[in-house]
Amino acid sequence: MNSNGFKDNGRIIIVGASLAGLRAAEALRDEGFRGDLTIIGDEPEEPYDRPPLSKQVLAGWVRPDGTKLPRMRRVDADWRLGVAATGIDRANNRILLADGSAVEGDRLLIATGVRSRPWPNPDEAALDGVFTLRTSSDAAKLQAALAAKPKRVLVIGSGFIGSEVASVCRDLGLEVTVAERGPAPLAGPLGLVIGRIAAEMQRAAGVDLRTGVSVQGLDGDAGGHVRRARLSDGTTLDVDVVVASLGSIRNIEWLEGVGLAAGTWGVGCDAGCRAFDINGVVTNNVFVAGDIARAPHVLYDYQFMAMEHWDNAVLGAQVAAHNMVCAETERWAHLMIPQFWSGQFGVNIKSVGVPSFGDEIAFTQGSIKDRRFAAAFGRRGRIVGAVTFDHGKWIPYYEAQIARSMPFPPNPVGSDFPEDMRAMPAEFPVRGVPTETPDVVLTGHNPSERSAEFHPRKR
Ligand SMILES: Cc1cc2nc3c(=O)[nH]c(=O)nc-3n(C[C@H](O)[C@H](O)[C@H](O)COP(=O)(O)OP(=O)(O)OC[C@H]3O[C@@H](n4cnc5c(N)ncnc54)[C@H](O)[C@@H]3O)c2cc1C
């Protein structure tokens, strides 16, 4: 991709027609971009919102096709929906599409997000009644299966989405088992201290929560419908619906071999959303936003972070769009403090910052017993994140504390304090190491020929 000096004209291509892609297109027009804009998306639908899929849609309050994203303005773009991008011909500034056509452009935004990690056994994953949840069509199928009143639902994995699905099942009066390999729900993003509270919430709501247990296999009946799950503790469960909620896989396959820093971690980029090439050198005309982006964050030791959150997609898209059309001296940095919300078991959970960057936690406001509290996360004496349960009005306070790297534990104003405000270990589980990460090797000796190559990992 080569900008040839274009700023407010020329040809921009956005790949990924969802939240980040749409908001970037709108921001480009707001910024005064008058050139050609092409938006390529492999889903046939117009951009829609995903958070309601695991909440209002599963509950039956909103139709699966009823979460179309509101348009903030006209974008005047050539929409190529229902067709995937399959590669980039960088020498000729072209994006290659699955239908054999190609689109020319001088700047590219990569916003291809993530997809659900499928149940690892393909035969079992193909059984009727086994679901994942990422798209509106996933939500439509799962909603229909829940509305048919299955005798028992099994949710595998208790991150945010798995926990929300379990919560909706209980709201619908369905029996639900949650099988979690780790020690508690939400322990990965929020640590075990919060995870224990989440576990209590689930059990109080009637969820059959099984922790420290993994699902080893699923059995179907003669008609190919899932009927049984085999667990690692030797027990079996009779189930009619299984929801595999195992996290996500980044949509990077279409970038294979194009020489960008794209791998299982996402697409590496600088804080201005400019993609790195395979050697870690920043590109000028390829930008990244949303769930697929992985950028360094100044507040978190400049570590590269991927934030699979709604706000991150919106703000990243705005920064990327600005930097695609501004003068070099006017670039912005995407320095947002991540925020996330979740509704489950009647509680509104919000988080700000990166709790899992911390190693200590202190309850700072409210009452744990009433499940209405705020807690801060700290590292090396500084606040790095916070979580609230039904206490969301305090999020801006914690956000300001995190932005200014204030001391941990913080001293919020007010009179509604927990009995024990001492800092304690947050108990984050030890992170697993991804197995499929490719090896990176260096070839050549002189600076002019030395470069990186990805090699599949030798097993
Ligand atoms: C069920 C659910 C609940 C959620 N709840 C919350 C919540 O409560 N709070 C919160 O903050 N966040 C939540 N999220 C996360 C939030 O929805 C995401 O952060 C957001 O959708 C990211 O937007 P994106 O545009 O980066 O990626 P995506 O929304 O994943 O969009 C990427 C798009 O690119 C398309 N694509 C992929 N490959 C190609 C290709 N080769 N060619 C063309 N198109 C391609 C994809 O099909 C997709 O349409 C939730 C997500 C899900 C699935």
Q: Which atom of ligand 1 is nearest to the CA of 293?
A: 26
User: Model confidence over 234-267: pLDDT tens digits?
Assistant: 999 999 999 999 999 999 999 999 999 999 989 9
Residue with tokens 């971690």: 265
Asked if 291 and 113 touch (Cβ cutoff 8 Å), the reply is yes
- C-alpha of residue 67 to centroid of ligand 1, in Å: 13
Task: Please tell me if the CB atom of residue 237 comes closer than 6 angstroms to any atom of ligand 1.
Answer: no
User: Model confidence over 82-108: pLDDT tens digits?
Assistant: 999 999 998 899 999 999 999 999 999
Task: Tell me whether domains 11-115+249-330 and 346-425 share a fold.
Answer: no
Task: Determine which of 2-16, 128-142, 156-170, 322-336 has the lowest per-residue pLDDT on average.
Answer: 2-16
Which residue CA neighbors atom 50 of ligand 1 most closely?
A: 51
Which residue CA neighbors atom 17 of ligand 1 most closely?
A: 50
- C-alpha of residue 226 to centroid of ligand 1, in Å: 28
- C-alpha of residue 151 to centroid of ligand 1, in Å: 31
C-alpha to C-alpha distance for 193 and 428, rounded to whole angstroms: 8
User: How do beta strands 303-305 and 360-367 pair?
Assistant: unpaired
pTM score of the predicted model = 0.95
- C-alpha of residue 94 to centroid of ligand 1, in Å: 24
Asked if 97 and 40 touch (Cβ cutoff 8 Å), the reply is yes
C-alpha to C-alpha distance for 5 and 7, rounded to whole angstroms: 6
Instruction: Compute and round to an integer the Cα radius of gyration of the chain.
Output: 23
**pLDDT confidence band for 451 (50 / 70 / 90):** confident
Confidence at residue 430, expressed as pLDDT on a 0 to 100 scale: 81
Which residue CA neighbors atom 38 of ligand 1 most closely?
A: 112
Query: What does the pLDDT average to over 403-410?
Result: 96
Structural domain spans, the chain: 11-115+249-330, 118-246, 346-425
- C-alpha of residue 114 to centroid of ligand 1, in Å: 6
Confidence at residue 4, expressed as pLDDT on a 0 to 100 scale: 44
Rounded to 5°, angle at Cα 334 from 330 and 337: 140
Query: What does the pLDDT average to over 128-157?
Result: 98
Task: Please tell me if the CB atom of residue 262 comes closer than 6 angstroms to any atom of ligand 1.
Answer: no
- Mapped onto helix, strand or coil, the DSSP state of residue 407 is strand
Task: Determine which of 114-128, 140-154, 188-202, 406-420 has the lowest per-residue pLDDT on average.
Answer: 406-420
Task: Determine which of 183-187, 192-196, 315-319, 367-371 has the lowest per-residue pLDDT on average.
Answer: 367-371
Q: Which atom of ligand 1 is nearest to the CA of 343?
A: 8
pLDDT beyond 90 at 152: yes
Task: Please tell me if the CB atom of residue 182 comes closer than 6 angstroms to any atom of ligand 1.
Answer: no
The one-letter amino acid code at 89 reads: D
User: Model confidence over 17-71: pLDDT tens digits?
Assistant: 999 999 999 999 999 999 999 999 999 999 999 999 999 999 999 999 999 999 9
Task: Please tell me if the CB atom of residue 341 comes closer than 6 angstroms to any atom of ligand 1.
Answer: yes
- C-alpha of residue 113 to centroid of ligand 1, in Å: 5
Which residue CA neighbors atom 26 of ligand 1 most closely?
A: 290
Q: Compute the mean pLDDT over every residue in the chain, rounded to the nearest whole number.
A: 94
CB-facing half-sphere around the CA of 447: CA atoms within 13 A:
1
Query: What does the pLDDT average to over 139-148?
Result: 98
pLDDT beyond 60 at 435: no
pLDDT beyond 70 at 3: no
Which residue CA neighbors atom 14 of ligand 1 most closely?
A: 51
Which residue CA neighbors atom 15 of ligand 1 most closely?
A: 309
Task: Please tell me if the CB atom of residue 308 comes closer than 6 angstroms to any atom of ligand 1.
Answer: yes
**pLDDT confidence band for 415 (50 / 70 / 90):** confident
Confidence at residue 261, expressed as pLDDT on a 0 to 100 scale: 96
Write the class of the CATH domain 11-115+249-330: alpha beta
Residue with tokens 């006017």: 330
**pLDDT confidence band for 433 (50 / 70 / 90):** low
Task: Please tell me if the CB atom of residue 19 comes closer than 6 angstroms to any atom of ligand 1.
Answer: yes
Confidence at residue 418, expressed as pLDDT on a 0 to 100 scale: 87
- C-alpha of residue 116 to centroid of ligand 1, in Å: 10
What fold is seen in the domain 118-246?
FAD/NAD(P)-binding domain (3.50.50)
Right CATH for 346-425 from 1.10.560.10, 3.20.20.70, 3.40.50.300, 3.30.390.30: 3.30.390.30
- Mapped onto helix, strand or coil, the DSSP state of residue 170 is helix
- C-alpha of residue 95 to centroid of ligand 1, in Å: 21
**pLDDT confidence band for 432 (50 / 70 / 90):** low
Confidence at residue 91, expressed as pLDDT on a 0 to 100 scale: 86
